Amino acid sequence: MNKPFIMDHPLIQHKISLLRDKNTGSKEFRELISEVAMLMCFEATRNLPLKEVEIETPICVAKTKILSGRKLAFVPILRAGLGMVDGVLKMVPAAKVGHIGLYRDPETKQPVEYYCKLPTDITKRDVIVIDPMLATGGSAVDAINMLKNKGVTSIKFMCIIAAPEGLEALTKAHPDVEIYCASLDEKLNDHAYIVPGLGDAGDRIFGTK
Ligand code: PRP
Ligand code: URA
């Protein structure tokens, strides 16, 4: 199994503890998901290529660096991935955003596709798929299959909480995809929820339970 990048910065760990707390309400939960996504994005983009340019400061002409290489697109997996979008866009405001709608059938635990809308130039972009939860891995594997079927070649996956089962499934299906997560939890329970996890991320973000 490819090793995931685990982003265990103290600020991220602190915010995840608040996310895990069942007494954290939807407003605070949403804010925390967005903040953690922003901090993680900072790390996940650490290796973006740079090029040297000359810029005239008020003092002199300076050789300095700007981003080069391919542009970025973020693709949240609906619904819960939506909670991470404004956080990552604070870091990369010029990125485009595609949407993939998948929900997990409660009986089979298999993802069901219901929506896909991607930027027209998605194949020319580096894509970061975002979803707070990687549980069985089914949703992430399917979302990345959909992107690859459309011709996307450069894909990373960023989640907040991952289960070992999901990491294994995702690295097996897509060994070329780098995985960034903030916490590697213990296991899945009988309902395929992450333990200790934070419950149902979509319901907690949108207050639907
Ligand atoms: C959650 C989560 C992931 C998926 C993870 O979405 O946001 O997309 O489950 O589970 P998996 O790794 O076992 O596929 P859910 O299906 O609950 O839909 P929602 O975001 O609309 O609530
Ligand atoms: N989806 C969630 O939102 N939480 C889990 O623990 C598993 C899947």
Strands 61-67 and 50-56: antiparallel
105-151 residue pLDDT tens: 888 988 999 999 999 999 999 999 999 999 999 999 999 999 999 99
81-115 residue pLDDT tens: 999 999 999 999 999 999 999 998 888 988 999 99
Among residues 104, 125, 136, 204, the one annotated as catalytic is: 104
Among residues 108, 121, 153, 208, the one annotated as catalytic is: 108
Q: What is the pTM of this model?
A: 0.95
Tokens of 177: 């995809």
152-205 residue pLDDT tens: 999 999 999 999 999 999 999 999 999 999 999 999 999 999 999 999 999 999
Break the chain down into helix, strand, coil percent, rounded to 5: 35, 30, 35
Residue 119 CA, ligand 1 centroid: distance in Å: 23
200 belongs to the catalytic site: yes
How sure is the predictor about 1, in pLDDT bands with cuts at 50, 70 and 90? low
The Cα–Cα gap between 141 and 81 comes to 15
